[in-house]
């Protein structure tokens, strides 16, 4: 037979376990009572025009957040609407920020498509950020990297590290791959991309290494459009400027300079700033040297 102290101790433990189980069961009931199907939110601008909407196939509503399944969002802009989708997402009621996870896809009406495992969407600032790897297809170019921040219309984009850009030119001989360990800043409005830290440019016939690389894209006006803005033309390169410890490898030949400029119109490579060429074999090189 149990003595009185052991008996009361046992009763206390049983009561604690029972109360804990009831509390958890109550939480589950509360969650299930707050679950809704076909959840949808919309935002409107100053003139009453819809500026964004957010929807989910189902939603669990908590005090501060709404957990969504099969998320779809749209940001309505004057020239370029943005569509967002993901398997899962969280909507923060206080800040209005949206966090998306699993099979995240962002597409713009101008033809850009970005995919990632996670994405944070700030509707008010019209920006997106992520620490995950990203993949962007736009204008016959494919961009990959780890971590990114951008405008939601993808007109300005920064990729943080481990960058790779594949540029599909008109011919296979002109195809180009650019990689860097550091960041990449792209401004599609100005048609310029800046690569940083151990930049490597590879073409079938030549490889170029540098600390920094600036790529200027060729542009053209959109046919049948009244807009005067230009777009990147089929991934075409106008000019490339490499700077800082520039090395150019062509066959067994190596050249060194402080700066190198490649112009696509004449396919000329100019080496600037005390250029030095090391020739291991006789080979025709398409390069011009200027001090």
As assigned by CATH, the class of the 34-123 domain is: mainly beta
Tens digit of pLDDT for each residue in 159-194? 999 999 998 766 666 788 999 999 999 998 888 999
- Is the confidence at residue 25, as pLDDT, over 60? no
Q: What is the DSSP string of 44-58?
A: E-TTS-EEEEEEEEE
**Residue showing tokens 């990632």:** 116
Predicted local distance difference test score (pLDDT) of residue 177: 94
Gap between the Cα atoms of 106 and 123, Å rounded: 14
Q: Cβ distance 273 to 211 under 8 Å?
A: no
Q: Helix, strand or coil for residue 25?
A: helix
Tens digit of pLDDT for each residue in 29-82? 344 347 888 889 888 877 778 888 999 999 998 888 999 999 999 998 877 899
Proportion of the chain above pLDDT 70, given as a percent: 76
| Mean pLDDT, residues 114-119 | 98
Q: Cβ distance 68 to 78 under 8 Å?
A: no
> 155-291 domain in CATH 2.20.25?
no
Rama region for 139: left / alpha / beta (φ>0; ψ in -120 to 50; rest):
left
Tens digit of pLDDT for each residue in 127-168? 999 999 999 998 778 999 999 999 999 999 999 999 999 987
Domain boundaries, the chain: 34-123, 155-291
| Mean pLDDT, residues 94-118 | 94
How buried is 191 (Cβ within 10 angstroms: 0-12 exposed, 13-18 middle, 19+ buried)?
middle
C-alpha pair distances (Å), 161 with each of 129, 144, 183, 200, 226: 14, 9, 5, 14, 38
Closest to 106 in 3D by CA, of 133, 72, 132: 72
- Is the confidence at residue 18, as pLDDT, over 70? no
Rama region for 127: left / alpha / beta (φ>0; ψ in -120 to 50; rest):
beta
Gap between the Cα atoms of 69 and 250, Å rounded: 53
Q: Averaging pLDDT over each range in 15-19, 61-65, 86-90, 219-223, which range is the top one?
A: 86-90
Tens digit of pLDDT for each residue in 260-289? 999 888 888 899 988 887 776 544 445 444
Tens digit of pLDDT for each residue in 224-240? 443 333 334 444 788 99
């Amino acid at each position: 037979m149990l003595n009185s102290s052991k008996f009361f101790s046992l009763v206390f433990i049983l009561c604690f376990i029972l109360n804990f189980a009831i509390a958890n069961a109550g939480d589950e009931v509360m969650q299930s009572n707050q679950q809704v199907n076909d959840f949808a939110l919309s935002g409107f601008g100053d003139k009453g025009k819809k500026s964004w909407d957010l929807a989910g196939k189902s939603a669990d509503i908590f005090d501060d957040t709404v957990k969504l399944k099969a998320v779809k969002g749209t940001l309505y802009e004057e020239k370029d609407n943005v569509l967002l989708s993901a398997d899962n997402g969280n909507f923060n009621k206080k800040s209005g920020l949206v966090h998306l996870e699993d099979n995240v896809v962002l597409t713009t009406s101008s033809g850009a498509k970005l995919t990632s495992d996670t994405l944070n969407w700030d509707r008010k600032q019209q920006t997106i950020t992520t620490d995950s790897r990203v993949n962007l297809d736009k204008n016959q170019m494919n961009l990959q990297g780890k971590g990114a921040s951008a405008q939601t219309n993808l007109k300005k984009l920064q990729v943080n590290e481990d960058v790779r850009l594949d540029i599909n030119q008109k011919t296979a001989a002109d195809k180009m791959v650019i990689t860097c360990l550091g960041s990449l800043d792209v401004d599609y409005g100005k048609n310029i991309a800046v690569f940083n830290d151990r930049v490597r440019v590879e073409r079938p016939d030549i490889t170029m290494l540098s600390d920094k690389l600036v790529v200027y894209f060729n542009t053209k006006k959109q046919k049948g459009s009244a807009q005067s803005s230009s777009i990147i033309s089929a991934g075409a390169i106008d000019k490339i400027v490499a700077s800082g410890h520039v090395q150019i490898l062509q066959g067994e030949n190596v050249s060194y300079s402080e700066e190198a400029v490649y112009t696509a119109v004449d396919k000329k490579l100019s080496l600037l700033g005390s250029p030095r060429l090391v020739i291991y074999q006789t080979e025709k090189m398409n390069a011009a040297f200027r001090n």
